Structure 1
Amino acid sequence: MKQLKWLISLSMIVLIIVGFASPALAFCGFYVAKADASLYNKASQVIIAREGNRTILTMANDYQGSVKDFALVVPVPVILKPEQVKVGDPKIIQRLDAFSAPRLVEYFDPDPCNPQPEYNQLPMPATRGVQTLEEEKRQSDSSLGVTIEARFTVGEYDILILSAKESDGLETWLIQNGYQIPEGASALLKPYIQQGLKFFVAKVNLEKFDQNGFQTLRPLMMAYESPRFMLPIRLGMINATGEQDLIVYLLSPQGQIELTNYRTVKIPSDQEIPEFVKEVFPGFYKSLFTKAYEREQKKVAFLEYA
């Protein structure tokens, strides 16, 4: 018997959120660029590992444009320190992508006299403690209500952590510092400022980028403690030229993670299918996903793997 079904792994969920030309989901930050550079975000992959109040967020982007004078702005709930930010290995995302990729599997009836152990009987992995991090010296620009809470370099990125009192002030500060802000940024920045969020600004250090011979930007990782469990993604709409893909890998040692502000729809992965599909599975799955996407009017999050 052949079925379209996913392998089960402890506490892993991958959500595929596809196609949002109208206001909906996109990447968790927006790109800013100096001069007239055009940077567009069409597909992104994000890993969120969550345990208690601790979150580790990894961001990888499929952007179009030159890395010269490129920057990324992402709302974050706390002031990040150098120890909390690192450059990730692209192979991590590639591994998760391959591990959770759609697959066609074949099942045979098990031997009832030789039962296999249940997943919940397997030992759980050990967890590590977290050390408290020291605070960075703060600098401020009181005229615009913008404060530089931290400034440091990680790998090929120069990092700023900003706080702001008004979205217009933050937009003005970025413009005064040589960044061309996408149209509509101020309106979308406002609710994040009202929630008291900070702004993680990552800019490419071209000298280090060139010295290391990088061809593409590596993922950025950040770890922080906060009761807020969220992925601020509406800002990514600013860079959209059409529909976008966002793949989110959610990892937790406790149960299944679900969205609270978007309806979650499961891809039908428990169906028996004809054997000839084995030879045309890639095209078959793409058609299945597209049909489900269109049936849901392109306004839901898809649970593709759990």
Structure 2
Amino acid sequence: NPCADNRRYLESAPADLGRPGGARGPDAYDRSLGVTVEERFSVGEYNILILSAKDSRGLETWLRRNGYKIPRGANRLLRPYIRQNMKFFVAKVNLEEFDKTAYQRLRPLQMAYESPRFMLPIRLGMMNATGEQDLIVYVLSPRGQAEMTNYRTVKIPSNTEIPVFVKAEFGDFYTAMFQTAYEGEGKKVAFLEYAWDMASCDPCSANPLNREELRKSGVFWLNSGRTNRRPNNVYITRLHVRYTRDTFPEDLMFQETSNRELFQGRYILRHPFTGEMSCRAGVDYQQSLNRRLQQEAQTLAELTGWDIDEIRNKIDFPDVKPIPWWRHLW
């Protein structure tokens, strides 16, 4: 296929891994399990199969006998997708091809497909999971914010004043803050971390994506020829989901909205004035600063669950001397 670009189609089926009745051939064996290999090809370091199936137990058997490691009883998770006539995208890493890439990590797979349902299947990803998993979802839309329909979408805590020392510990701060918010919401929500119009930038945590970056991210409507759309009519939503089998028993369902409100997680650091302050206003400032720093410490403790005394030990509180009583007379 001259249009296949970097897709190299395999000319033979995967090696026979102990199939019974080998004389019948792999296709006959696949059919006996209700599994059909709709397509097979290679992309970079990945060998890809597109499968359809009629029976979840047959698909589980087929995957295991073809070298895919899945836990016993996986057919229970496979069954709902088979009932919906969904296909299965199965990837296996070709280590020889990976060694040729000179990359240290596997490159992400990008795929395009059409579906009447705006959803993301996450249940299959829980097959081998024993704990919580984190998923970051970026939704690019010509309309506005995206949100979940079968789980609540809430904004990450934002626009709060926190102590200056957090700047050097921001990774630990955000990890603890997210976990606290996650537990506070019952572990059953998606957090909105970022929502922005790519045509504007005020203020910006980073430069908006340019047209080429948007195209590579899957934005297909910029070159659609529709003159009623702005040059960069793209709204991006970032959702952060932490889930387990028990807290998220359903796949993620989304919807576009017309809400174009701008939002990002913002945390305010106010650096105290440290110069000489000999006037009355300076004394008043130091007293108010003490109260402000105490409030910042309390806010940080509530956001993260950190010990309040340990937080206070990291804050440089000003040494404020009490105002003599006679200062209030003249």
TM superposition score normalised by structure 1: 0.51
Q: CA RMSD in A?
A: 2.6
Partner residue, 2:92? 203
The letter of the residue matching 1:144 is: L
The letter of the residue matching 1:206 is: L
Partner residue, 2:257? none
The answer as to whether partners of 1:166 and 1:193 remain within 8 angstroms in 2 is yes
Distance in 2 separating the partners of 1:206 and 1:246: 26
How far 1:240 moved relative to its partner? 1.4
Distance in 1 separating the partners of 2:39 and 2:182: 42
Question: Larger Cα Rg: Structure 1 or Structure 2?
Answer: 2
The letter of the residue matching 2:46 is: Y
Secondary structure of the 1:290 match is helix
Using the aligned pairs only, state the percent identity.
Answer: 67
**Residue in structure 2 matching 1:166, options 48, 51, 55:** 55
The answer as to whether partners of 1:267 and 1:302 remain within 8 angstroms in 2 is yes
The answer as to whether partners of 2:40 and 2:49 remain within 8 angstroms in 1 is yes
Query: Is residue 259 from structure 1 mapped to residue 148 from structure 2 by the alignment?
Result: yes
How far 1:181 moved relative to its partner? 2.0
Structure having the larger proportion of residues in strand: 1
How far 1:185 moved relative to its partner? 1.4
Query: Is residue 229 from structure 1 mapped to residue 118 from structure 2 by the alignment?
Result: yes
CA displacement 1:241-293 (0-9 Å, x = unmatched) = 2121111111111111111111112112234x156366456144333322211
Superposed, 1:139-218 pairs within 5 Å as 141-218=30-107
How far 1:302 moved relative to its partner? 1.0
Superposed, 1:85-104 pairs within 5 Å as none
CA displacement 1:7-42 (0-9 Å, x = unmatched) = xxxxxxxxxxxxxxxxxxxxxxxxxxxxxxxxxxxx
Change (3 A) 1:197 1:299: same
How far 1:202 moved relative to its partner? 0.8
**Residue in structure 2 matching 1:304, options 151, 174, 193:** 193
TM superposition score normalised by structure 2: 0.48
The answer as to whether partners of 1:264 and 1:302 remain within 8 angstroms in 2 is yes
Partner residue, 2:164? 276
Distance in 2 separating the partners of 1:85 and 1:234: 28
Partner residue, 1:286? 175
Partner residue, 2:236? none
How far 1:199 moved relative to its partner? 0.3
Partner residue, 1:110? none
Q: Which has the higher contact order (CA 8 A, sep 6+)?
A: 1
Distance in 2 separating the partners of 1:280 and 1:191: 47
The letter of the residue matching 1:199 is: F
The answer as to whether partners of 1:148 and 1:160 remain within 8 angstroms in 2 is yes
How far 1:214 moved relative to its partner? 3.0
The letter of the residue matching 2:180 is: K
The answer as to whether partners of 2:70 and 2:128 remain within 8 angstroms in 1 is no
The answer as to whether partners of 1:144 and 1:173 remain within 8 angstroms in 2 is yes
Distance in 2 separating the partners of 1:278 and 1:166: 53
Distance in 2 separating the partners of 1:161 and 1:245: 26
The answer as to whether partners of 1:82 and 1:153 remain within 8 angstroms in 2 is no
Instruction: Give unmatched runs, 5+ long, in structure 1.
Output: 1-80, 87-138
How far 1:188 moved relative to its partner? 0.1
The answer as to whether partners of 2:56 and 2:79 remain within 8 angstroms in 1 is yes
Aligned length: 173
Structure having the larger proportion of residues in helix: 2
The letter of the residue matching 1:188 is: L
